[in-house]
Chain A
Amino acid sequence: MSTQITFLPETASQTGGPYVHIGLAPKQAGFDIFENNFDNQLAKPETKGERIRLEGQVYDGSGTVLRDVLVEIWQANAAGKYAHPADTQDKPIDPAFRGWGRTGADFDTGFYSFETIKPGAVPGARPGTTQAPHICLVLFARGLNLGLHTRVYFEDEKEANAKDPIINGIEWEIRRDTLIARREERDGKAVYRFDIRIQDTPDGGKETVFFDV
């Protein structure tokens, strides 16, 4: 008989449900309760780096936009450093940048958006590798039993994207493009459009790559 080393099971996930905003974005649910609310404004006036807006919509398998989805992002600062003690790189922390934000999609249009800065490159898992600038993004909603993780990369970082270990880890090259946000200028400001398709859609939209992080 052998003994097996065990550890505690992770608590099971459950859907965030249709009223996820009550707890995570109460103003959007329609009431004012906390003095300090977490939101989608990651860039403060003193934050270093190029201001960008990240926006898009999330589609279900019928091509319908999700209007009750909650989106969170997590990213490094402009120097490519995360504001967390596990990031031991010899790079400056930006005291004016936490790197995290959340928002609900608009109840009418389904658009989500973040005002943030373009992140710097961070190291890959293996020594000597570098990840292209990216933003980690997670979705919670009614109908999603477990949060869906994906990554946002930038269209104008072609060279870095071509060397990115995560992108290159996707065996199906045709799927890699689902992680690239499109850049446009609006009133002199960079806007990256990143739409997410939970399933292939009837209009030909391809299912976004989701990660088991």
Chain B
Amino acid sequence: MSNPLLPPSTTGVFVQRDSDAHPPAYTPGYKTSVLRSPRKALISNVGTLSEITSPVFRPQELGPKDNDLITNFAKDGLPIGERVIVHGFLRDQFGRPVKNALIEVWQANASGRYRHKNDTYIGSLDPNFGGCGRMLTDENGYYMFRTIKPGPYPWRNRINDWRPSHIHFSILADGWAQRLITQQYFEGDTLIPHCPILKTINNEEQVRGLIAMQDIGNFIALDSRCYRFDITVRGRTATWFEN
């Protein structure tokens, strides 16, 4: 879509966050946000060393199955559900690949049930499915993982609210200012337009950015379907003059 507009930089500050690209803190349709949103404006500072740096991770810290949710918790067989691969590129707002970023994902199983102490939904647990994975992006900002497509699930917001199928994503990239947690949805899910959490985003284009597209060309015959989900983090600006 766009060519890099600025020369590569490793030490610059990040472009300011466009608050219209994100949900506001106070979104009463998502009830929990009412008591968990600051009432005062955020305070903006010029980026310092503290915000332009971030932890660095090494490939040896991850295990060989960490990005394979189909096998990383399998005990006595394979988990039940739709086999899918999710892949894409992590880039910054200037189109540069973001290398060696830690992407962590978590999700419900095919029933819409989470492996978590506090989830009491009647949908069954799958003894062979854990529901979390992690990976580092490569030199091109590419990532991929394999999983079971999560089911939708009910939640206590309004009495009959249901989340669309989704996978949670956490990104630790190259600067603390790029820290991001989001959710990825699946193309064609009819629950998407009804979701109070997605509706916290007041910008249709931004909602579309969270929907992974079916990637038919990359389906694996007789094995797995594939979804493509690209992620954009804040862009690091160039440092033209030393200060």
A residues neighboring B (CB under 8 Å) = 5-24, 26, 29-31, 33-36, 60-62, 64, 66, 68, 72, 74, 76, 82-89, 98-100, 107, 122-127, 131, 134, 136, 138, 140-149, 151, 165-166, 169-170, 175, 198-200, 207-213
Given contacts A8-B232, A66-B36, contact A33 B72 (CB under 8 A): yes
CB distance from A31 to the nearest CB of B (A): 6
Complex alpha-carbon distance, A19 and B131, angstroms: 11
B160 at the interface (CB under 8 A from A): no
State whether A7 touches B56 (Cβ < 8 A): no
Query: Do B55 and A145 touch (CB < 8 A)?
Result: no
Tell yes or no: B138 within 8 A of A by CB: no
Instruction: Say whether, besides A19-B114, A23-B106, A143-B36, A9 and B232 are in contact (CB < 8 Å).
Output: yes
Contact A9 B35 (CB under 8 A): no
Pick the residue among A10, A29, A138, A210 that contacts B116 (CB under 8 A): A29
- The verdict on B179 contacting chain A, using a C-beta distance below 8 Å, is yes
CB pair B66 A11 closer than 8 Å: no
Describe A's contact surface by its main secondary structure: loop
Chain A CB within 8 A of B10 CB:
yes
Interface size on B, residues (CB 8 A): 95
A141 and B168 alpha carbons, distance in the complex (Å): 12
Nearest opposing residue in chain A for B14, CB measure: A213
Q: Does B42 contact A (CB under 8 A)?
A: yes
Which of B27, B53, B134, B205 is close to A9, meaning CB atoms less than 8 Å apart?
A: B205
Contact B207 A12 (CB under 8 A): yes
Q: How far is the CA of A197 from the CA of B54 in the complex (A)?
A: 25
Contact flag A212-B17 (CB < 8 Å), given A7-B94, A15-B197, A145-B22: yes
> Do A124 and B2 contact each other (CB < 8 Å), given the known contacts A10-B232, A210-B42?
no
19 sampled A-B residue pairs with Cβ under 8 A:
A5-B5, A9-B205, A11-B232, A12-B21, A14-B168, A15-B197, A19-B118, A22-B131, A30-B115, A30-B116, A30-B117, A34-B66, A34-B134, A74-B176, A86-B174, A145-B22, A145-B37, A198-B35, A213-B45
Within the complex, the shortest CB–CB distance from A171 to chain B, in Å, comes to 8
CA distance A198 to B37 in the complex (A): 6
Q: Are A123 and B48 in contact (CB under 8 A)?
A: yes
CB <8 Å contact, B106 and A19: yes
Q: Is the CB of B49 within 8 A of A123?
A: yes
Residues from chain A with a CB closer than 8 A to the CB of B197 are 14-15
Bound-state CA distance A89–B11 (Å) is 11
Given A11-B231, A13-B182, A125-B47, 15 other A-B contacts at CB below 8 A? A8-B235, A12-B210, A14-B181, A22-B114, A22-B132, A29-B114, A136-B176, A138-B176, A138-B179, A144-B25, A144-B36, A145-B25, A145-B37, A198-B37, A210-B43
Bound-complex Cα distance A39 to B51 (A): 21
Please pick, from B62, B106, B130, the residue contacting A24 in the complex, using a CB distance under 8 A: B106
Q: Among the interface residues A140, A175, A211, which one has the most CB atoms of the partner chain B within 10 A?
A: A211
Complex CA gap A10/B201 in Å reads: 13
Q: Residues of B contacting A213 with CB < 8 Å?
A: 45, 47, 51, 176-177
Of B21, B30, B106, which is in contact with the most chain A CB atoms at under 10 Å from its CB?
B106
Is B56's CB under 8 angstroms from A83's CB?
A: yes
- Does any Cβ of A come within 8 Å of B123's Cβ? no
| A9, A85, A165: the one within 8 Å of B10 (CB) | A85
In the bound assembly, the distance between CA atoms of A92 and B57 in angstroms comes to 19
Docked complex: B97-128 residues within 8 A CB-CB of A: 104-107, 114-119
Within 8 A of A (CB), among B170-204: 170, 174-177, 179-183, 197-198, 200-201, 203
Residue among A86, A98, A210 making CB contact with B49, cutoff 8 Å: A86
List, in ascending order, chain A residues with CB within 8 A of B27's CB.
Answer: 145
Question: How many angstroms between the C-alpha atoms of A212 and B22 in the bound complex?
Answer: 12
Question: In the bound complex, do residue A86 and residue B43 qualify as a contact, i.e. CB atoms below 8 Å apart?
Answer: no
Closest-CB distance, B99 to chain A (whole angstroms): 12
Q: Does B233 contact A (CB under 8 A)?
A: yes
